[in-house]
Amino acid sequence: MDKHTDQIPDGFAAQFREEGYFLLDHVVPPDDLDMLRGICGEAITDTDDRIDRGDVGTVAAITHKGRRYFIDGAYPRWPQLESYLFSDYMADVCRATLGPNVYLFKNQFVVKCAEVGMKFAWHQDSSYIAEPHAPYLTTWCALDDVTEQNGTIHLLPWSRGGGGKLHEHRREDGTNDLVGYDGDDPGTPVNLPAGGMAVFSSVTFHRSGANTTDQARRVYLAAYSSVPMPLKEGTTRQAVPFLKDGDFVGPVDDT
């Protein structure tokens, strides 16, 4: 059954079209937030075990044990993530940005560890996909309060850099980060409470600083597209139907 709850404030869709992003202070219910935190902890333990076994082929090249984690493909390994990924509130976010037809493309936990969490260079998410593709949607959910002190992201509005187009990137020595912007604009900091969300295009430049606090900074990233994205064997890319003509068709379809 289709459930239009329209949780996105007026004007946010226009801001997304014009500047490539918007922010939501409170959107994720407490139960879903607790579930995401629990799975994040399990995913970190699993990743550490893989690294210790030398199974680095299943670990992102930009992951650095005990410092910074990019853990791909938690869903469907933890199917309870469906309550978040295919929720009414995520449907509202996707309708406001992508339109009536939506697929889940990827999902990823991003963690900066306490005191040693590394920075992440200016980049566009689309730069990490070699195949030609239409820009997709990144939803960046804060599992902890995020601040400049614990390494939150900074977004570069399209009018200040990037212009909503994919730019060339280079590989940074030592981190394997891709870097696509060398300007002096510091970007707009994303300071959000736990359960808040940054919503931005895959061609919106963003970066993050180091975590200088005594607590980890945890985020769950889910990416959606309006058409099936290029799939690649050996990756965690997905093409899970979510919405068709604005209605639920994915795993939580209860028609």
Q: Measuring CA to CA, how many Å separate 63 from each of 60, 70, 73, 93, 234?
A: 5, 5, 14, 28, 17
Question: How far is it, in rounded angstroms, from Cα 181 to Cα 31?
Answer: 38
Q: Is 248 exposed, middle or buried (0-12, 13-18, 19+ CB in 10 A)?
A: buried
Query: One digit per residue, pLDDT tens: the chain, 255 residues?
Result: 344 446 788 899 999 999 999 999 989 999 999 999 999 999 999 999 888 888 766 566 778 888 889 899 999 899 999 999 999 999 999 999 999 999 999 999 999 998 775 678 899 999 989 899 999 999 999 999 999 999 999 999 999 999 999 999 999 888 888 999 999 999 999 999 999 999 999 999 999 988 999 999 999 999 999 999 888 877 888 899 999 999 999 775 443
Query: 213: which residues sit within 8 A by CB, 6+ positions away?
Result: 114, 115, 149, 150
Write the single-letter amino acid at 92: D
The pair phi, psi for residue 155, each rounded to 5°, is: -105, 145
Q: Is 121 exposed, middle or buried (0-12, 13-18, 19+ CB in 10 A)?
A: buried
Domains detected in the chain = 12-248 (2.60.120.620)
94 closest CA partner among 33, 138, 157, 155:
138
Which ranges of 86-221 does DSSP label H, i.e. alpha helix? 88-97
In this prediction the pTM is: 0.90
